[in-house]
Amino acid sequence: MKSFHLVALVSASVLASGCALKGDVRRLERQLEDFQLQTARSDSARAVSLARVLDELQGLHNAVLDSIGMHRRALYSLQGEMRSDNTEVQRQLVAIQELMGLSQTRLNELRRQLEARPAVAQPAPGDTTAAPVQPSGPGPEETYTLGMELMRGGSMETARTAFAELLRQYPRDDRAPDAQYQIGKTFEPDLPDSAAAAYQKVLSDYPQAPAAARAMYGLGLLAERSGDTAQARQYFQQVVARFSNTQEAQLAREKLRNQ
């Protein structure tokens, strides 16, 4: 713009002085036209460059908006999944609490009944005339059923208490071997050594009971989980040899074939 003003000023000065020739005027006109053309080209180039920058900015703006939209949709989806998961967890917790509350109530009732039973005089040594005394309160079947319910609800320690109570009150009942075996099952998730000890007690105290086959097979599984393949194989072989007609023997044979 300064050049344009300079050219105009010179032209005006020449014309005002009356000294300009036609050639000089024509030359000045061409210079003015060239300047205008260059200015127009420069303005056009700047306009093109500016348009390109604006297009790039618009593209970047659209990409940012798309990314924000995508992340927003992902966030909404995640929030929905988390709400669904939290609802399911809360539902399961409520169910477990209800089950544990019910089982604990029944166990407390069982304990109260056992503690409230009347004291019974013990027969003198060698006295075979006295009738055998039957303990009062819940029977072995009810106690065993309670223990199994507690196990299914995940209350392993409380279930173990019920099975131990059955063994204390009814050590020679038909349910006693099963109760001793279930004590081993309650130990399995966290205390495999205690589980093995409980299974060994089944074999020593009730060697002919059906629970003995399950206990022997359980010992094999515990050894297998600990990585002692040789010991596991010995247990499976004993199951097959000692309890050949049981379901555990069939399972043990399958284990031996796959080892």
Query: Quick check: is 9 in a domain?
Result: yes
Residues 6+ apart with CB under 8 A from 25: 11, 14, 15
Say how far apart CA 222 and CA 236 lie, in whole Å.
11
> Is residue 220 situated within a structural domain?
no
| pLDDT at residue 203, rounded to an integer | 96
Least confident of 81-85, 102-106, 163-167, 250-254: 102-106
Is 225 part of any domain?
no
Q: How many domains, in total, are found in the chain?
A: 1
- Find the domain containing 81 and state its range: 2-14+21-89
Q: For residue 217, is it within any domain? A: no
What's the pTM value of the predicted model, to 2 decimals?
0.51
Q: In this structure, is residue 189 part of a structural domain? A: no
Are the CB atoms for 259 and 234 separated by under 8 Å?
A: no
Average pLDDT taken over every residue of the chain: 76
**Would 233 be classed as within a structural domain?**
no
Predicted confidence band at 2 (pLDDT cuts at 50, 70, 90)?
A: very low
For the stretch 25-34, pLDDT in tens is: 677 777 777 7
| Residue 63 domain-assigned (yes or no) | yes
Euclidean distance between CA atoms 90 and 84, whole angstroms: 10
Could you read off the pLDDT of 97-137 as tens digits, one per residue?
Answer: 555 555 566 666 665 655 554 444 444 444 444 444 455 55
Q: What is the pLDDT of residue 199?
A: 97
Domain contains 39: yes
Q: Where are the alpha helices (DSSP H) in 116-209?
A: 140-152, 156-169, 176-187, 192-205
At 100, list the tokens. 């544990």
